[in-house]
A = this chain, B = another copy of it.
Amino acid sequence: MLGQLLGPDIQELIEQRDFRALRASLADWPPPEIADLIESLPSEKDVIVFRLLPRDLATEVFEFLDYEKQARLIEALAKEQSRLVRLLNELSPDDRTALLEELPGEVSKRLLSLLAPEERRVALALLGYPEESVGRLMTPDYVAVYPTWTVQQALDHIRLFGKDSETLNVIYVVNESGHLLDDLRIREILLADPQGPVADLMDNRFVALKATDDQEAAVPIFRNYGRIALPVTDTRGVLIGIVTVDDVLEVAEEEATEDFHKIGGTEALDEPYIRTPLGKLVQKRAKWLVVLFIGELLTASAMGYFEAEIARAVVLVLFVPLIISSGGNSGSQAATLVIRALAVRELGLHDWWRVMRREVFSGLALGAILGGLGVARVLAWEQMFGLYGEHSLGIALTVGLALLGVVMWGTIIGSMLPFIMQRLGADPATSSAPFVATLVDVFGVLIYFSLAALILRGSLL
């Protein structure tokens, strides 16, 4: 047979770890032949070949294996896991991706239910779900029934298999191919006529997560539906597990912590602060501090450009920190508000224009308030100490207008930068408070001294 004929070549390709060639050569084989081949390979290698099959093919091949062969493969997948893990560590990332395509739902489900909870974390990686995906949080401890069963049959099944279920509040209904059809509250089942079919209780409305969904995306769904557990399906809708909200709580907390670190201008720490080794802590912080420092160097150049004006009117320089930090502060406010709203899915990319309008108005109002205070400060000190002499009005006007401009600029930059980050596929939280402040500082210096040159030319300058 073809399988036996080509066996040695295949073995060779496996030895050489040439998974791409292997995958390509298998793609055109008829599924029954591949099934035979898998049977003929030693237990370590059959798993690798099965893992290499494109998903559609894997489903077909799996169906061609008889029940005992299927069970042996699943067991092999579970048993060979430590060997596979070692293998995986030696692979390049794209080879690894080729090897770890999402397994068919049937296979995932059986593999999961075979494993002890402590082995499950490793297995979920093997099942091909990307890191930080819903698939990594799944447990197989749920109860599913068929719509053709009577309520009594469903109850008997629950009594028999419900013991290990993470929650008995919700029972899932699937068809023979394992597709999720509905979720039923245990209450509905308990109160129904025991002789009627399960199908009578169904409304075919349910909320489910996809195993490949981002974990972060699960948080608002749990929040909005107030559920303790949600079913997880593979990309075809086959029920393969459930995710309970306690795991999602942990995810939400970790995501928030990462965002906090980023907003504070640190690369996100992978471990808790106090357990992060000092060297790593310094490294993660130094990276951003250096980037910001280099950005901030531009302020020195910007001010250098106005050195002549500064030499003529040193008094102007006294207000530089006040003006640029007001811009930075209003920028961090806007950035943090928008970053958080994006993170909890309260805002989406399409809302950028609504936010822009709000922030232009807010920036105008806040800038007017601070500008007014700035004018008051200059005039009051002039009144009390006579510091600025005949130029006091011009200085007051320059400081006031610069504050207005800088605060508006900070607000707009701060609110739009997170949208731009998200649009570019980066984490919006990367547009941290210090990052925004640095951007605003440079422009703040330019705005201030340009205004000064304009307003005070011929008098102080």
One of A18-26, A103-111, A337-345 at the interface: A337-345
A246 near B: Cβ within 8 Å? yes
From B186, B278, B329, A361 is in contact (CB under 8 Å) with B278
Q: For the complex, would chain A's binding face be called helix, strand, loop or mixed by DSSP majority?
A: helix
Residues B328 and A434 in contact, CB atoms below 8 Å apart: yes
CB neighbours of A335 from chain B (8 A): 264
* B318 and A264 contact, CB distance less than 8 A: no
Q: How far is the CB of A345 from chain B (nearest CB, A)?
A: 10
Q: Is A17 an interface residue (CB 8 A)?
A: no
Q: Does A245 contact B (CB under 8 A)?
A: yes
A233 at the interface (CB under 8 A from B): no
Query: Please, what's the 1-or-0 string for A151-171, where 1 marks a CB less than 8 Å from any CB in chain B?
Result: 000000000000110111100
A186 CB contacts on chain B under 8 angstroms: 163, 168
Residues of B within 8 A of A81 (CB): none
- Residues from chain B with Cβ under 8 Å of A264 in the complex: 263, 332-333, 335-337, 433
Most buried by B among A222, A256, A325, A377: A325
**How many chain-A residues does the 8 Å CB contact rule pick out?**
105
From B167, B337, B369, contact of A273 by CB (8 A): B337
- Contact partners of A433 in chain B: CB under 8 A: 263-265, 332, 433-434
- Residues from chain B with a CB closer than 8 A to the CB of A166 are 169, 228
**Which A residues, 269 to 316, have Cβ-Cβ distances below 8 Å to chain B?**
269, 272-274, 278, 281-282, 285-286, 288-290, 292-294, 296-297, 299-300, 303-304, 307, 310-311, 314-315
Residues of B within 8 Å of A347, CB to CB, are 273-274
Q: Which residues of B are found within 8 Å of A437, using beta-carbon distances?
A: 325, 328-329, 437
Q: With the chains together, A77 CA to B348 CA distance in Å?
A: 45
Task: Give the shortest distance, in Å, between A179 (CB) and chain B (any CB).
Answer: 26
How far, in angstroms, from A387 to B307 measured CA to CA in the complex?
12
Q: Distance (Å) between the CB of A381 and the closest chain B CB?
A: 9
Q: Determine if A253 and B344 form an interchain contact, defined as CB atoms under 8 angstroms apart.
A: yes
Most buried by B among A248, A260, A303, A365: A260
Q: Check if A261 is an interface residue, CB within 8 A of chain B.
A: yes
Which residues of the partner chain B approach A300 to less than 8 Å between Cβ atoms? 318-319, 321-322, 377
Nearest chain B CB to A428's CB is how many angstroms away? 12
Contact assessment for B289 and A330 in the assembled complex, using a CB-CB cutoff below 8 Å:
yes
When chains A and B are docked, how far (Å) is the Cα of A329 from the Cα of B287?
12
Given that A248-B249, A264-B263 are contacting pairs, would A273 and B303 also be in contact in the complex, using a CB cutoff of 8 Å? no
Give every chain B residue within 8 A of A326 (Cβ-Cβ): 289, 292-293, 296
Q: Which residue of B lies closest to A301 (CB)?
A: B318
A324 at interface, CB cutoff 8 A = yes
Closest 3 CB pairs of A and B: A264-B336, A299-B321, A256-B256
